[in-house]
């Protein structure tokens, strides 16, 4: 999807590395490591030592912070993952925010496919699935969102919480 989307980008996007396109207003620290395919939106800030491992679609006005790692993600507009976060195989809705040290875990320790546990179990048939966060979700510092966690819009999560299921 990201590779196809790259083909439709306008002149406001610059290829800064192979298959890595950033809007001309994006601010990217020299110490950031970014592997494509990746699109970085308008007015987005990629801070010191951010590690973007590919397959990343990062919206407008986002913050990807110090020592934050992204892989196989969609970050909608105004998402903030400002420091020491891991976000793998996840989707974060508009204005979602992760407190420092929050992890979107994407791999079960037993090696089985991820199941989303809600009113009914939803098998994904995928070995790796991170978190899906709705718009304006605010997750406190040092939380762990276990594989397949879904948090609905306008939800706040207390710091130091471990979640599994649908909230």
What is the dihedral angle through the alpha carbons of 98, 14, 24, 16, rounded to the nearest 10 degrees? Answer: 60
C-alpha 5, offset from chain centre: 18
Closest to 82 in 3D by CA, of 121, 16, 139: 139
pLDDT given for residue 26 in this prediction: 98
pLDDT given for residue 75 in this prediction: 98
pTM: 0.96
pLDDT given for residue 156 in this prediction: 98
The two structure tokens encoding residue 110:
């037993």
pLDDT given for residue 72 in this prediction: 98
β-bridge pairing 56-58 and 45-46: unpaired
Q: Which of 23, 48, 83, 97 is catalytic?
A: 83
**Distance from C-alpha of 31 to C-alpha of 65, rounded to nearest angstrom:** 11
pLDDT given for residue 126 in this prediction: 97
Known active-site residue 23: no
- Mean pLDDT per 10-residue interval, the chain, length 167 residues: 94 97 98 98 98 97 97 98 97 98 96 94 97 98 98 98 97
């Amino acid at each position: 999807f990201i590779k196809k989307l790259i083909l439709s980008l306008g002149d406001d996007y610059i290829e800064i590395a192979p298959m890595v396109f950033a809007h001309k207003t994006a601010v990217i620290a020299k110490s950031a490591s970014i592997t494509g395919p990746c699109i970085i939106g308008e007015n987005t800030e990629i801070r010191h030592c951010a590690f973007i491992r590919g397959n990343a679609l990062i919206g407008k006005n986002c913050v990807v912070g110090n020592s934050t790692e992204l892989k196989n993600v969609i970050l909608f507009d105004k998402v903030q993952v400002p420091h020491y976060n891991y976000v793998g195989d996840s989707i974060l809705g508009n204005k979602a925010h992760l407190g420092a040290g929050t992890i979107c875990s994407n791999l079960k320790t037993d090696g089985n496919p991820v199941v989303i546990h809600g009113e009914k179990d939803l098998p994904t048939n995928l070995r790796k699935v991170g978190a899906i966060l709705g718009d304006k979700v605010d997750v406190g510092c040092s939380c762990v969102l276990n594989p397949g966690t879904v948090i609905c819009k306008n939800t706040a999560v207390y710091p130091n919480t471990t979640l599994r299921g649908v909230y």
